[in-house]
A and B are shown apart, each in its own frame.
Chain A
Amino acid sequence: MAEPLLSVTEVVHAYGGVQAVNGCTFEVPEGVICGLIGPNGAGKTTLVDVVAGALHLQRGTVRYAGADVGGWSPDRLARAGLIRTFQLSREFRQLTVLENLLVAATGRIDESLAGALFRRRQIAVAERALVKEARGLLEIFGLDPLRNDLAVTLSGGQKRLLELARAVMAHPRLLLLDEPMAGINPALMGLLEAHIRRLNSQGITFLMVEHNLGVVDRMCEPVVVMAEGKALAVGSMADHRASDAVVTAYLGRGRPA
């Protein structure tokens, strides 16, 4: 069997004395929408930060696309196709919506100083192609009419859509989504869900931290349950509901035991 796209082995990350991630092990095969659930403080976001290179890998191994990527910087991982979103939308506030997408196309246009001065013609050609691609994406996400507005002026839901569109513009192979559904209304949730499914069918693998179990139930397979810094169980939501350990740690019993 082929090596999974992402494998996390015995990963540890402690903040001072607090072991946020404490020997976490799981795999994400290529092509899936993998859910990552667990109670608050289970270490989910810390794990995403470690995988994305934003936090230092203290112990353990992270392998991505066949390479040991422990210690890689976030920008190097991003150039290798590992893109992440943030729990709170972090758009480039004083850039326009369209520019937010263009920035994400690292490596597909000359961003050097020398290019800015001496290769303006080639850059103009490359930029036309990028703008076309970006506007196609904005159209799909319903943001094209807002393309020339500063990103700071968007509503919370629009920022969520922009965040996803921008991530897609980066041509990810693995997309880490940290609570994509947090704080958005049910209609928009359905829309985001459809987008994620469509992108997945186009070949993007997802690892998605999410608290909305309905969404996880509908979309994710496998689902990793984290508790106290470890991967407690990996399987389908049906498996998890049948598991005493998972129910106790996270799902709850619905009535006092």
Chain B
Amino acid sequence: MPHDLNYYLATLAVYFLVYCVLTLGLNITFGMAGIFDFSYITFMAIGAYFAGVAVLPPSNQPGLQWILGLNLGFPLDLLIGAAAAGVMGLLIGLLAIRRIRSDYLAMVLVAVWTIAWSVTSNMIGLFNGQQGLIGVPQPFETQLGVNPNDYVFVFIPIAAVVLAILFTVAYCIERSPFGRALRATREDQDVAAAFGKRTVRLRLTAMTIGCLYAGVAGALTIEFLSAMSPNAWAIVETVIIFSALIVGGRGNVFGAVLGALLVRIVIIEGTGLLPTLPDHPELIGATRNILIGLLVIAVLYFRPQGVIPERRRRYFEARKPAADTSQEVAKGG
């Protein structure tokens, strides 16, 4: 295969792996716990910015300003980015989740994105404003001394290992009593509480885990692209991640992965291959969003639970309980 094609496919692989982290995180917050986290992309951005300023040196010139500047390397930057997103998610959750429910919570979280986006864009000293962070060193870039065109092949295993860990965690959560309690809380908070569940704590935990995932995805993004600016986390990005999860199947880790593949790779990258019309540069972006919308409508119409629906778990089928008790009661009735 020609090098260009290899490079292109490898880049797609990285995008896919990172997007899986995003959909898996949202699958815990929204898919399992039912929290409409419409500020989800904000936590991706927080992860990216904090990972960026963890790697970058302190800023020392006008036009390139940011906080911290810790000169750290991989994987510390990733942990810092994830932790920052998780802490922010927990704080916002403490403010919002304890007091507000479902649709109102969704609106509050949209407001959280709006505030975060405006502050980041306008407070230049935070993360270099509209221009954003640029030139962030990539993991192992200097140690390995690889050709920039080959760097993607270094990054694939990094992203794959991170995803493997996070997928395993999500898989364990989905099949655990913890996950079952989250789903019960999603179905009906009052009834879950009436059976002794600490629903606020469960929802806060789910929100925080989702934000940690988003933070990791953000850190991976800035490590790979070396840059992050407000343009990269418009509110529509949250909607697209929701779309991916709804299409793939919410409440199912494999659904989350399939959604990442269908939306991030097939639709977003697929439309990128369309020929550009010289007079209509926005056409591709618009086509992309229309296709995502149509896909969501089609899935909701024909397969409302997603392509791979939530797993209907069968427990321990082997043994059957004694059958005579039922007859006893049938007589009593």
Chain A positions near chain B (C-beta within 8 angstroms): 52, 54, 73-76, 78-79, 83-84, 86, 90, 92-96, 98-99, 102-104, 106-107, 109-113, 115-117, 120, 123, 127-128, 131-132, 135-136, 139-142, 144, 148, 150, 166, 170, 187, 190-191, 193-195, 197-198
**Measured between alpha carbons, how far is A98 from B180 in the docked complex, in Å?**
11
B149-191: which have CB < 8 Å to A?
169, 172-173, 176-181, 183-184, 186-188, 190-191
Q: Chain A CB within 10 Å — which of B178, B183, B190, B320 has the most?
A: B178
> With A110-B177, A116-B172 in contact, do A142 and B326 touch (Cβ < 8 Å)?
yes
Say yes or no: A92 contacts B191, CB within 8 Å: yes
> With A111-B178, A116-B179 in contact, do A194 and B329 touch (Cβ < 8 Å)?
yes
Say yes or no: A99 contacts B178, CB within 8 Å: no
Within the complex, which residue of B173, B180, B194, B330 is in contact with A84, where a contact is CB–CB below 8 Å?
Answer: B194
Given known contacts A117-B173, A166-B195, what 16 new A-B pairs fall within 8 Å (CB)?
A75-B199, A76-B196, A92-B192, A95-B183, A95-B184, A96-B312, A99-B180, A102-B177, A111-B176, A111-B177, A115-B176, A116-B173, A117-B172, A144-B326, A170-B195, A194-B329
Say yes or no: B319 contacts A132, CB within 8 Å: yes
Across the two chains, which residue of chain A brings its CB closest to B321? Answer: A136
> With A113-B173, A140-B326, A148-B314 in contact, do A107 and B333 touch (Cβ < 8 Å)?
no
Within the complex, which residue of B173, B194, B313, B323 is in contact with A54, where a contact is CB–CB below 8 Å?
Answer: B194
Within the complex, which residue of B187, B199, B323, B333 is in contact with A95, where a contact is CB–CB below 8 Å?
Answer: B187
Q: Does B145 contact A (CB under 8 A)?
A: no
**In the assembled complex, how far is the CB of residue B73 from the closest CB belonging to chain A, in whole angstroms?**
27
4 closest Cβ pairs, A-B complex = A116-B176, A106-B196, A191-B333, A78-B196
Say yes or no: B205 contacts A113, CB within 8 Å: yes
**Measured between alpha carbons, how far is A211 from B281 in the docked complex, in Å?**
69
- Chain B at the A interface: SS class: helix
**In the assembled complex, how far is the CB of residue A238 from the closest CB belonging to chain B, in whole angstroms?**
25
What is the total number of residues of chain B having a CB less than 8 Å from a CB of chain A?
44
Across the two chains, which residue of chain B brings its CB closest to A79? Answer: B196
- Chain A at the B interface: SS class: helix
Across the interface, which residues of B come within 8 angstroms of A109, CB to CB? Answer: 177
Q: Does B325 contact A (CB under 8 A)?
A: yes
**In the assembled complex, how far is the CB of residue B290 from the closest CB belonging to chain A, in whole angstroms?**
30
> With A74-B190, A92-B191 in contact, do A115 and B184 touch (Cβ < 8 Å)?
no
Across the interface, which residues of B come within 8 angstroms of A107, CB to CB? Answer: 196
Q: Chain B CB within 10 Å — which of A95, A190, A191 has the most?
A: A95
Q: Does B315 contact A (CB under 8 A)?
A: yes
**In the assembled complex, how far is the CB of residue A60 from the closest CB belonging to chain B, in whole angstroms?**
22
**Measured between alpha carbons, how far is A104 from B188 in the docked complex, in Å?**
13
Q: Chain B CB within 10 Å — which of A107, A135, A193 has the most?
A: A135
Say yes or no: B181 contacts A103, CB within 8 Å: yes
B295-333: which have CB < 8 Å to A?
310, 312-316, 319-323, 325-326, 329-330, 332-333
